[in-house]
């Protein structure tokens, strides 16, 4: 009852307005990943809230402001989308475009080119389709997991737990583990991911770019960049991905997104590589609003989901739960 009363005060008695005033002179950058037909009404509702209470601006406008010191509109906000799933084209882009909310889509070049699955989807597919009810997993000398696969709910939770564990090991250990994952789970993986996990093609990325979506870079293969990549690997994931993306799109790419994007996933070597490659900004997954003096290579974001409970979503947008 106390929780219901607090939410009533927030949503019906001006509480969210007071929260928004606290961030009036800061800017927000949201982070979405995946979309579905079922989530479209929720995205519509969030867009209506954004259009009513915020000033949507492009990422380039934000970066220009940070560089020059020019003021942004009060309650400025921008929408970003990570990974480049095709479901953004089908169920996300039409909604944001209709509400005239600028977006930046961070694509993974190897995924867009059809060379790879995104590796968390590889994990989720193997766990979901394994005929086994139990898996004993050894990732490296220090990381061992026992996974219970009796129900769909358990499989979903265990896939997430395994993916999180893989973000903590070296890049070499993660790659070696994924190579053997089909044999471990007794699953034969198709060459391309299923439709709900498919990537936007280069042609589709060029099409949405022509409609105003800014295309940013999310590396070549979505590794955790701080997990002992070699100098050559780091250069390929950042410089190489930028060059391929610009060749494929026929335009410059100025914005970068760190995979996983938490503090432990980013260091000065990585950030300097992003700067040297010629990017003008980089976003993290650290939660929060940004002051006008923010380092433009450590932009924080408001982590949303297309299927997120609407009330919780607008509370996040207003500065709660940070």
Taking only the tens of pLDDT, the chain with its 322 residues reads: 666 666 766 787 678 888 888 999 999 999 999 999 999 999 999 999 999 999 999 999 999 999 999 999 999 999 999 999 999 999 999 999 999 999 999 999 999 999 999 999 999 999 999 999 999 999 998 999 999 999 999 999 999 999 999 999 999 999 999 999 999 999 999 999 999 999 999 999 999 999 999 999 999 999 999 999 999 999 999 999 999 999 999 999 999 999 999 999 999 999 999 999 999 999 999 999 999 999 999 999 999 999 888 999 999 999 988 8
Collapsed DSSP state (helix, strand, coil) of residue 199: strand
pTM: 0.95
If we measure between CA atoms, which residue out of 165, 187, 261 comes closest to residue 222?
261
Torsion sign, CA atoms 23, 24, 29, 33: positive
If we measure between CA atoms, which residue out of 254, 246, 293 comes closest to residue 71?
293
Cα separation, 181 vs 138, whole angstroms: 11
The structure tokens 């509702």 sit at 45
How many residues would you count in the chain? 322
**Are the beta carbons of 219 and 119 closer than 8 angstroms?**
no
Half-sphere exposure for 202 (CA within 13 Å, toward CB): 13
**Are the beta carbons of 107 and 217 closer than 8 angstroms?**
yes
Q: CA 151: distance to chain centroid?
A: 28
Instruction: Give the DSSP per-residue string, 252-319.
Output: ---EEE-SS--GGG--HHHHHHHHHTT-SEEEEEEES-B-TT--TTSEEEEE--TTS-HHHHHHHHTT
Instruction: Give the DSSP per-residue string, 16-74.
Output: HHHHHHHTTTSEEEEEE----TTTHHHHHHHHHHHHHHSEE--HHHHHHHHHH-PPPPT
């Amino acid at each position: 009852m106390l929780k219901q009363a607090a939410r009533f005060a927030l949503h019906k008695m001006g509480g969210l307005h007071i929260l928004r005033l606290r961030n009036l002179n800061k800017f927000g950058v949201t982070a979405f990943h995946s979309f579905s037909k079922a989530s479209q009404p929720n995205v519509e509702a969030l867009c209506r809230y954004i259009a009513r209470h915020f000033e949507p601006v492009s990422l380039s406008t934000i970066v220009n402001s940070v560089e020059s010191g020019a003021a942004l509109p009060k309650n400025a906000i921008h929408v970003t989308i990570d990974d480049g799933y095709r479901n953004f084209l089908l169920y996300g882009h039409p909604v944001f475009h209709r509400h005239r909310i600028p977006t930046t889509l961070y694509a993974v070049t190897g995924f867009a080119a059809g060379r790879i699955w995104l590796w968390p989807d590889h994990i989720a597919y193997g766990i979901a389709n394994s005929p086994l009810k139990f898996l004993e997993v050894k990732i490296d000398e220090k990381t061992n997991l026992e996974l219970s696969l009796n129900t769909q709910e358990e499989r979903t939770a265990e896939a997430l737990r395994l993916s999180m564990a893989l973000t903590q090991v070296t890049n070499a250990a993660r790659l070696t583990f994924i190579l053997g994952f089909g044999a471990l789970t007794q699953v034969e993986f198709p060459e391309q991911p299923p439709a709900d996990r498919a990537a936007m093609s280069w042609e589709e990325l060029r099409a949405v770019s022509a409609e105003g979506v800014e295309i940013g870079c999310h590396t070549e293969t979505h590794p955790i960049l701080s997990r002992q990549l070699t100098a050559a690997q780091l250069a390929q994931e950042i410089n190489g991905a930028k060059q391929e993306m610009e060749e494929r799109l026929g335009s410059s790419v100025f914005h970068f997104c760190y995979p996983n994007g938490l503090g432990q996933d980013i260091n000065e070597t990585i950030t300097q590589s992003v700067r040297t490659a010629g990017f003008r900004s980089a976003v993290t997954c650290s939660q929060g609003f940004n002051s006008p003096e923010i380092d433009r290579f450590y932009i924080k974001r408001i982590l949303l989901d297309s299927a997120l409970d609407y009330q919780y979503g607008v509370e996040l947008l207003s500065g709660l739960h940070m």
